[in-house]
Homo-oligomer: A and B are copies of this chain.
Amino acid sequence: MITNNYYSQEVHGPYESHDIGNFELEEGGTIRPCKLAYASFGKLNAAKDNAILIPTWYSGTNKLLEQVYIGPGRALDPEKYFIIIINQIGNGLSSSPHNTPAPGGMANFPKVRIGDDVRAQNKLLTEKFGLHSLALVVGGSMGAQQTYEWAVRYPDMVKRAAPIAGTAKNTVHDFLFTETLVDAITSDPGFKGGWYASCDEVREGLLRHAKMWAVMGWSTEFFQQNRYKLLGFSSLDDFIVNFMNGYFSVMDPNDLLCMAWKWQRGDVSRNTGGDLRAALGRIKAKTFVMPMSSDMFFPPADCKAEWLLIPDAEFRPIETIDGHLALFGADPNALAQLDKNLKDLLAAKV
């Protein structure tokens, strides 16, 4: 185990933790016990039909999602809905390499798949809250992967689905991009095969990882139009060091790698023997597919191809030059489009 104050109640609280017991994973490992950290907002109504689930993206946590997406008057309005953000396994708040005691932690943490997260989340929602219906599952990036997995795996439970900037089946190109992120971390001699004594030892690998995120995470237009200066950074160096690296460098390398492995292999067609058409055909949720127009690794074309296979779906790309990381919410115009779409979706009869 590694002590890391970033994953504390001070930084991310208030959040709760629910123990779902020993949890067997698709790849054969077991997390003993598996704990899911979550934060909830608003009240569950008597009919238990006003629940919204938000799964998290790579590196994402409940706090950022709360700050960017939830609020009175917003689509995700805690005055109308019971909103629950569940941190994905490996994100540092739920069971993760860095917070799992020896011998199962650190580099020994077992391989986790998107399907494991969704089963674990289902266990939490049914056991703890007695939920059997979700008005909406909405998530970005790896959160979109989980959203698709939810809609395919529990088609009767998910009434509406909003996968943002993500795919149901990861692409070859995206797998490769993620591989370069993994390489950036594991190639640092300080990583020591995952047995570093402190995250600081992997400082250089984390910096390379942050730079690569800067290249692919935004867009060429984002830099050409000096968006990074508009966001308050004086130079490219300032932006890399104090924003990109500032964001990632506090995170645990093994935790990031746990999520990256999962991200690379996201694929709802594992539920249907590799048949993507059959998997997406299972979806009963009213679905809005929302890629970011300038996304360099979950590009609209890839999302559109999947949209065509979903029975009741609309394709609603978000126009922005903030690329994939428009998810961070720095483009108010992108957020406004997302809010409008989510309001439309929540208003739709199902």
Residues of B within 8 A of A176 (CB): 211, 214-215, 223, 236, 240
Instruction: Tell whether A26 is near chain B: CB-to-CB under 8 Å.
Output: no
User: Is B302 a contact partner of A173 (Cβ separation < 8 A)?
Assistant: no
User: Is B301 a contact partner of A236 (Cβ separation < 8 A)?
Assistant: no
User: Is A187 a contact partner of B204 (Cβ separation < 8 A)?
Assistant: yes
Near B by CB (< 8 A), chain A positions 173-200 give 173-177, 179-180, 183-184, 187-189
Interface size on A, residues (CB 8 A): 38
Cα-based distance from A240 to B218 in the complex (angstroms): 25
Cα-based distance from A246 to B231 in the complex (angstroms): 41
Instruction: Tell whether A272 is near chain B: CB-to-CB under 8 Å.
Output: no
Instruction: Tell whether A139 is near chain B: CB-to-CB under 8 Å.
Output: no
Closest chain-B Cβ to A70's Cβ sits at a distance in Å of 31
Cα-based distance from A174 to B172 in the complex (angstroms): 23
Partner of A224, one of B172, B208, B240: B172
Cα-based distance from A9 to B4 in the complex (angstroms): 57
Instruction: Tell whether A299 is near chain B: CB-to-CB under 8 Å.
Output: yes
Known: A189-B189, A220-B302. A183 touches B211 (CB 8 A): yes
This protein's copies in its complex: 2
Known: A216-B215, A296-B296. A224 touches B180 (CB 8 A): no
Residues of B within 8 A of A296 (CB): 220, 296
Residues of B within 8 A of A220 (CB): 171, 173-174, 296-297, 299, 301-302
Residues of B within 8 A of A173 (CB): 215, 218-220, 222-224
| Closest B residue, CB atoms, query A244 | B176
Partner of A208, one of B183, B215, B240, B302: B183
| Closest B residue, CB atoms, query A208 | B183
Near B by CB (< 8 A), chain A positions 268-314 give 296-297, 299, 301-302, 305
Cα-based distance from A179 to B180 in the complex (angstroms): 14
Residues of B within 8 A of A20 (CB): none
B interface footprint on A195-237 (CB within 8 Å = 1, 0 otherwise) = 0000000001100100110111011111110001000000010
Cα-based distance from A172 to B179 in the complex (angstroms): 24
Cα-based distance from A222 to B301 in the complex (angstroms): 12
Cα-based distance from A296 to B47 in the complex (angstroms): 50
The 7 closest A-B pairs by CB, nearest first: A173-B223, A172-B223, A173-B220, A177-B215, A220-B299, A183-B208, A180-B212
User: Known pairs A171-B220, A171-B223, A176-B211. 12 more at Cβ < 8 A?
Assistant: A171-B224, A172-B228, A173-B219, A173-B223, A173-B224, A175-B236, A176-B240, A179-B211, A180-B208, A187-B204, A187-B208, A220-B301
Pairs A–B under 8 Å by Cβ, sample size 23: A171-B223, A172-B223, A172-B236, A173-B218, A173-B220, A173-B222, A173-B224, A175-B236, A176-B215, A176-B240, A177-B215, A180-B211, A183-B208, A183-B211, A184-B208, A187-B188, A187-B204, A187-B205, A189-B189, A215-B216, A220-B296, A224-B301, A224-B302
